[in-house]
């Protein structure tokens, strides 16, 4: 795994982000917001005063969003539908788009995968990134807007128990870079970046991965996570992801890196 280029820029445990309402008047569209990391991001943006459009196939309660926050409006739809990005981008004209949605990969060794299981994240995660990034460029999104694509730390070193997952997440990182290149070529002032999270064991994708790798190591989930923390530092949570994404949303475009590793210690720029 390449070593991180820079020190973390967000750690809400040591440097909590106050509810500054610095995103008042801004619209953030979080694609994949009904649970897990995306839900944490939707709550963080609402806490910063943004109007949040939460996209997912199933609805949820956002009861934790206090009274003193921005509005969270749900759009219930399949983000992989080719026509959805044009519809929702026209309807809401967002300043920030975060593409978090993805499938939970079938966790099996290679020889036990079917092609359908192996390609699940290509049919979901890559498909979603392709349709949304394409439409963001074609529309185009307004100048100054920010787009974040959720890839995975697995894209750096592989994930042998999750079939085509690591390759699909690497493709998402490439897609963010391709979109940035097209935006520059077209004179569009839109910033694209990829975020590569490490294990977030409380959420859908992280939970099954931790269970599978703990079983393969012959360890309990608790022992596996303990040794992960000892070797790699604090675990990621939806709250930490939300705080990190807020930091990206308010960063100067000139300071953006093409990709970031995201751990429990916050964001770290990755080398190109």
Ligand X SMILES: NC(=O)c1ccc[n+]([C@@H]2O[C@H](COP(=O)([O-])OP(=O)(O)OC[C@H]3O[C@@H](n4cnc5c(N)ncnc54)[C@H](OP(=O)(O)O)[C@@H]3O)[C@@H](O)[C@H]2O)c1
List of residues contacting ligand X (CB under 6 A): 32-38, 55-58, 78-80, 100-102, 104, 124-125, 150, 152-153, 197, 199-200, 203-206
Q: Which is nearer to ligand X, 84 or 257 (CB)?
A: 84
| Contact (Cβ atoms closer than 8 angstroms) between residue 262 and residue 234 | no
Report the 3 state secondary structure along 88-109.
Answer: HHHHHCCCEEEECCCCCCCCEC
Give 21 or 215: the residue with its C-beta nearer to ligand X.
Answer: 215
Evaluate the omega torsion of the peptide bond into residue 140 and state whether it is cis, within 30 degrees of 0: yes
Q: Which residue has 């074609």 as its token pair?
A: 138
**CA 173 – CA 125 distance, rounded (Å):** 11
- Residue 65 Cβ vs ligand X, minimum distance, rounded to whole Å: 16
- CA dist 177 → 137, 147, 190, 192 (Å): 13, 11, 12, 7
Cβ distance to ligand X smaller for residue 35 or 73: 35
> Shortest distance, CB of residue 122 to ligand X, whole angstroms?
12
116: helix, strand or coil: helix
- What's the start-to-end Cα distance of the chain, in Å? 13
Choice between 202 and 219, CB closer to ligand X: 202
**Closer CB to ligand X, residue 1 or residue 184?**
1
Torsions phi, psi of 51, nearest 5?
Answer: -85, 120
CB of 132 to ligand X, least distance (A): 10
Tokens describing residue 58: 């199933």
The residues, any chain, with a CB within 8 Å of residue 39's CB and separated by 6 or more, are: 33, 54, 60, 62, 238
In the three-class reduction of DSSP (H, G, I as helix; E, B as strand; rest coil), residue 272 is classed as coil
Our CB check for ligand X shows the closer of 62 and 188 to be 62
Minimum CB separation of residue 241 from ligand X in Å reads: 8
Least gap, CB of 173 to ligand X (angstroms): 11
We find the least distance from the C-beta atom of residue 198 to ligand X, in angstroms, to be 6
State which residue, 21 or 207, has the beta carbon closest to ligand X.
Answer: 207
Find out whether 150 and 102 touch, Cβ atoms under 8 Å.
Answer: yes
Q: How many other C-beta atoms lie within 10 A of the C-beta of residue 27?
A: 20
């Amino acid at each position: 795994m390449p070593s991180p280029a820079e020190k973390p820029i967000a750690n809400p445990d040591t440097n909590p982000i106050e509810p500054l309402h610095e995103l008042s008047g801004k619209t953030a569209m979080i694609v994949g917001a009904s649970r897990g990391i995306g839900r944490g991001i939707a709550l963080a943006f609402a806490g910063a005063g943004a109007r949040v459009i939460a996209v997912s196939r199933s609805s949820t309660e956002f009861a934790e969003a206090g009274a003193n926050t921005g509005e969270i409006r749900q759009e219930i739809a399949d983000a992989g539908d080719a026509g959805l990005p044009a519809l929702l981008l026209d309807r809401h004209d967002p300043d920030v788009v975060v593409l978090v949605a993805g499938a939970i990969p079938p966790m099996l060794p290679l020889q036990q995968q079917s092609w359908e299981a192996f390609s699940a994240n290509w049919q979901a995660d890559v498909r979603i990134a392709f349709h949304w990034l394409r439409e963001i460029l074609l529309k185009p999104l307004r100048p100054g807007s920010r787009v974040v694509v959720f890839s995975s730390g697995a894209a750096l070193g592989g994930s042998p128990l999750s079939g085509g997952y690591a390759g699909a997440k690497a493709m998402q990182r490439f897609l963010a870079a391709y979109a940035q290149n097209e935006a520059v070529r077209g004179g569009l002032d839109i910033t694209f970046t990829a975020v590569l999270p490490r294990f977030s064991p409380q959420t859908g994708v992280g939970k099954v991965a931790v269970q599978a790798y703990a079983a393969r190591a012959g360890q309990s989930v608790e022992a596996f996570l303990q040794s992960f923390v000892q070797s790699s530092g604090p675990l990621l949570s939806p709250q930490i992801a939300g705080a990190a994404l807020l930091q990206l949303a308010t960063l100067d475009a000139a300071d953006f890196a093409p990709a970031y590793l995201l751990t429990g210690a916050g964001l770290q720029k990755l080398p190109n």
